[in-house]
Structure 1
Amino acid sequence: MTSLGDQIAQAPETAEHAVPRPRGRVRWIICGLLFAAVVLSYIDRLVLGVLKPELSATYGWSNTGYGDITGYFQVCYGFGFLFFGWLIDRIGAKTGYLLAVATWTIGHLAQVLVTSTTGFVIARIPLALGEAGTYPSALAAVSQWFPKKERALAIGIFNAGANVGAVVTPLLVSLLVVTFALNWRWAFIVTGLFNVVWLGLWFWLYRKPADHPRLTPEERAWIETEPSVDVGRATFRSVLRHRETWAYMAGRFLIDPVWWTFLFWLPDFFSKQYGYDLKSFGPPLVAIYILADFGAISGGWYSSHLLKRGVATGRARKRAMFVCALFALPVMFAVQASNIWIAVGFIGLACAAHQGFSTNLFSLPGDLFPRYAQGTLVGLGGFAGAAGGFIASKSLGLLLDTVGSYQPFFIACGLAYLLALLVTHLLNPRYEPVTINP
């Protein structure tokens, strides 16, 4: 009887041939803009989580009420993913990203007008809808600008922006609210202004590779080493017919709730478990998300390294995910940690595992689907992940108000990645390109 790791390693594939690296780095400038956008999106969604202990004490919020804020955010985020996934396939990454960032900026700034949990639920609707356009737009841009040999690395780099945003947010909010003694509303105003700067840079710098004036012939040839079909449109129905779609959706449904709950609830966990507050839980959060950054880039680098050595695409992606899933297991013991830094180590490993795992899972649309169908698939996966996040967030809020313990959640987190890999491998054992009639 073979192990899961052996089955994954034996999945049949055809390896990519090596191609000399080009002169020119325009594609990495584009990747830097994508990285910055993910940083900003995570700053904007996490400001409220960092302020949660203070706002709860000031305005009398319950855990269930805060669970409503995070849960309904994820519902809107899921439907936004469906919309933007469909839209990006039709209007492209440039216009789609402009629309997404402008929409979420409106919702982010609207939060200064409310104080109740119901008010924040309503104000964050455009924030959720707009931020849902982040990954469909970014993955579409990476698919245009990076060949398969570099795609997972590029995804890992911009996906690391989530961790940078999570590191910067508690430090920035603490600086504004504690050090400068500003009203909590300024945390939303200052971070919202950063988005305006990014919108100008994206409008000015982003073009398709064929239209970019600074692209060298060598870099353009490198980008275009893989044939692609850009003309056509895919419907949700045509994409849902394929097992590979359900593999991607199942993976997102199982792992996204872990990440979402960490993002929204870790400040509360440190406050209740170790008595940390806005002045003190910054360093633990920074340490956790620095580890997560390492996981995002390492996970993308590892599968790209395997591809360059001649390992088949599916085998490389799944092997990287399997390693990441093993690193998530110790988080099951986080609640029993005798001090906060042991808990930080367990949670940091799990966050690193999540980012490395998701980086390789995010590569599936670009690896297997034609470009005109990738946005639709990313939208479906995002919707599935948000649905799982909604269930997890509502359940955790009720659990804390009744049982008062994070233990069941951390056990589920530790097991989620092995389960996700098993399900995706069973649904997509061969990891072969999908044909969709445009």
Structure 2
Amino acid sequence: MTSERIGNYRWRIVMLLFAATTINYIDRNVLSFTMIDDDFKREMIGLAPGQPITVADNILYKEWMGYVDAAFKWAYAIGYVLAGWLVDRIGTRRGYAISMFIWSIAGVLNAFVGSVRTMSMTRFMLGLGEAGNFPSAIKTVAEWFPKRERSFANGIFNAGTNVGIIVTALTVPWITLNYGWRTSFIVTGLLGFVMLAIWWTTYRRPAKHPHVTQAELDYINSDQEAVPFRRIPWAKLLTYRQTWAFALGKFMTDPVWWFYLTWLPDFFNSNEALDQKLDLKSIGIPFLIIYLVSDAGSIFFGWLSTKFIQMGWSINRARKTTMLICAICVFPIFIASTTNNIYVAVALISLATSAHQGWSANMYTFASDLFPRQAVASVTGIGGMCGAIGGALFAAVTGIIIGRVGYQPLFIIASGTYIVALAIIHFIVPQMQPANVEEV
């Protein structure tokens, strides 16, 4: 049956998820660029306007911003698991809407802080709200797509993370330079309310959506589990090795991605090894390159895994082979911290972020590959919570390491993390068999 006869409305839903994920990442990444603004630095460390910023001030500032970043990630850990529980119980339409509402309010409130303490509070609230994005989006993909298309669909909506960063890199520095850092938070925060209105008026589950044909609905359900709907307690989910494979994979690799998101602008602005430094006027183009390549990686590696399955490979072989390729592509990133050529650094970071997004697109399919639909958001929430805990622990020491040692130790850690993570995943679930979820 051709795609025309089946119908393609499910791909419009993916684009809706792509737009929401883009705005989610715009809101969370504004801080990464305002961090290199001198007026923002003075505000955070309590210096008078125009007062010179000393080397000691910069070291202290980076340590404090590491703590601010950790506050966001601790909240993200809490919010992720709560969001997974909530979405599985009240549905993606309402659950996602609540998430968008909270993160949009917090995004605007970031504009009205005046110290590291108050910034930590608003970033904590932002983390609680933004945590709902991926449990909601992944469950939506599980509801709208058969398994053989999910990694590609996940790759498409996950590409919104990179587009969000690109939009932030191209607009926030300009807004900050011309209108001040507070305006950057207000303008970007308001985007979430626009997305909330679009989501609420557009989204319905496939069986209830007026634009879904019966042929497309049958195709969506063509390889779904023939099990009755039932709620699965978290305590039970934690007894499955499949849950822990997903959770440990997230715990190890999510911190690396968040390190890139938070600290790459500062890396290009202050890393002593580079022969040229970037400021708010010049930082946009490198980030455009890095995250366009990352977008391509998210979509390509999502497609590659799907292609392997279409070739007759098992889900186990297809997912793990793709993730191994991604892990190998990340490995050279340690060179970026020592090269003095900014073009080499941009190329290596582009390769690593692209590979991470491909890794992530395939990781996100684990929950829907290994668990029935009613558990997908909860398992995703557990894994996301573990990823955020890892990110918070990493963030708490990142600012200290950068201020006192530099970036090299952090890039070395990033280099080998994915290969180790894949080995652990393979040890826990050597065949990626679906969890035998019994009725409760």
TM-score range, shorter chain: over 0.9
For 2:12, the equivalent position in structure 1 comes to 29
| 8 Å contact kept, 1:230–1:372 | no
1:402 positional shift: 2.3
1:401 positional shift: 2.5
For 2:136, the equivalent position in structure 1 comes to 137
| 8 Å contact kept, 1:298–1:356 | yes
Write the deviation string for residues 105-152 of structure 1: whole angstroms up to 9, x where unpaired: 111111111121111100122211010000000011000001011100
| Corresponding letter in the other structure for 2:262 | F
Name the CA distance, whole Å, in 1 between partners of 2:180 and 2:298: 34
Corresponding position: 1:330 with 2:329: no
2:254 to 253, 256, 271: 256
3-state DSSP of counterpart to 1:160: helix
2:396 to 394, 397, 401: 394
| Corresponding letter in the other structure for 1:361 | M
Structure 1: unaligned runs, 5 residues or longer? 1-18
1:50 to 23, 33, 37: 33
For 1:370, the equivalent position in structure 2 comes to 372
1:188 positional shift: 1.2
Question: CA 1:276–1:227 in structure 2 vs 1: closer, same or farther (change >3 Å)?
Answer: closer
Name the CA distance, whole Å, in 1 between partners of 2:107 and 2:35: 15
Pairs within 5 Å for 1:407-426:
407-426=408-427
1:230 positional shift: 5.7
Name the CA distance, whole Å, in 1 between partners of 2:233 and 2:105: 30
Question: CA 1:330–1:57 in structure 2 vs 1: closer, same or farther (change >3 Å)?
Answer: farther
1:184 positional shift: 1.5
For 2:312, the equivalent position in structure 1 comes to 310
| 8 Å contact kept, 2:34–2:173 | no
For 2:238, the equivalent position in structure 1 comes to 240
| 8 Å contact kept, 1:164–1:290 | yes
1:372 positional shift: 1.3
1:204 to 192, 201, 207: 201
For 1:287, the equivalent position in structure 2 comes to 289
Name the CA distance, whole Å, in 2 between partners of 1:328 and 1:20: 38
Name the CA distance, whole Å, in 2 between partners of 1:412 and 1:332: 8
For 1:7, the equivalent position in structure 2 comes to none
Write the deviation string for residues 42-61 of structure 1: whole angstroms up to 9, x where unpaired: 00000011100112255436
Select between 20-29 and 385-394 the one with higher mean Cα deviation.
Answer: 20-29
For 1:93, the equivalent position in structure 2 comes to 92
Name the CA distance, whole Å, in 2 between partners of 1:333 and 1:34: 35
Write the deviation string for residues 171-230 of structure 1: whole angstroms up to 9, x where unpaired: 11123223xx11221111111221122111111111111111111222111101013336
Name the CA distance, whole Å, in 1 between partners of 2:86 and 2:44: 39
Name the CA distance, whole Å, in 2 between partners of 1:104 and 1:341: 35
Name the CA distance, whole Å, in 1 between partners of 2:192 and 2:220: 29
Name the CA distance, whole Å, in 1 between partners of 2:2 and 2:246: 31
Name the CA distance, whole Å, in 2 between partners of 1:313 and 1:230: 24
Pairs within 5 Å for 1:293-304:
293-304=295-306
Name the CA distance, whole Å, in 1 between partners of 2:224 and 2:365: 17
Name the CA distance, whole Å, in 2 between partners of 1:232 and 1:362: 22
- Relative to the length of structure 1, the TM-score reads 0.93
Write the deviation string for residues 258-307 of structure 1: whole angstroms up to 9, x where unpaired: 10000000011111024211111111111111111111001100000111
Name the CA distance, whole Å, in 1 between partners of 2:126 and 2:141: 23
For 2:322, the equivalent position in structure 1 comes to 320
| Corresponding letter in the other structure for 2:97 | L
| 8 Å contact kept, 1:142–1:155 | yes
Select between 189-198 and 32-41 the one with higher mean Cα deviation.
Answer: 189-198
2:23 to 17, 40, 45: 40
For 1:183, the equivalent position in structure 2 comes to 180
Name the CA distance, whole Å, in 1 between partners of 2:403 and 2:173: 27
Select between 420-429 and 370-379 the one with higher mean Cα deviation.
Answer: 370-379
For 1:13, the equivalent position in structure 2 comes to none
| Corresponding letter in the other structure for 2:196 | L
Name the CA distance, whole Å, in 1 between partners of 2:247 and 2:224: 26
3-state DSSP of counterpart to 2:230: coil
CA RMSD in angstroms comes to: 1.3
1:215 to 212, 216, 219: 212
3-state DSSP of counterpart to 2:36: helix
| 8 Å contact kept, 1:253–1:387 | yes
For 2:50, the equivalent position in structure 1 comes to none
1:338 positional shift: 2.2
Name the CA distance, whole Å, in 2 between partners of 1:98 and 1:87: 11
Structure 2: unaligned runs, 5 residues or longer? 46-59
Write the deviation string for residues 149-178 of structure 1: whole angstroms up to 9, x where unpaired: 110000000001000001110111123223
| Corresponding letter in the other structure for 1:406 | Y
| Corresponding letter in the other structure for 1:66 | M
Name the CA distance, whole Å, in 1 between partners of 2:8 and 2:228: 23
3-state DSSP of counterpart to 1:62: helix
| 8 Å contact kept, 1:370–1:435 | no
For 2:386, the equivalent position in structure 1 comes to 384
| 8 Å contact kept, 2:297–2:358 | yes
For 2:57, the equivalent position in structure 1 comes to none
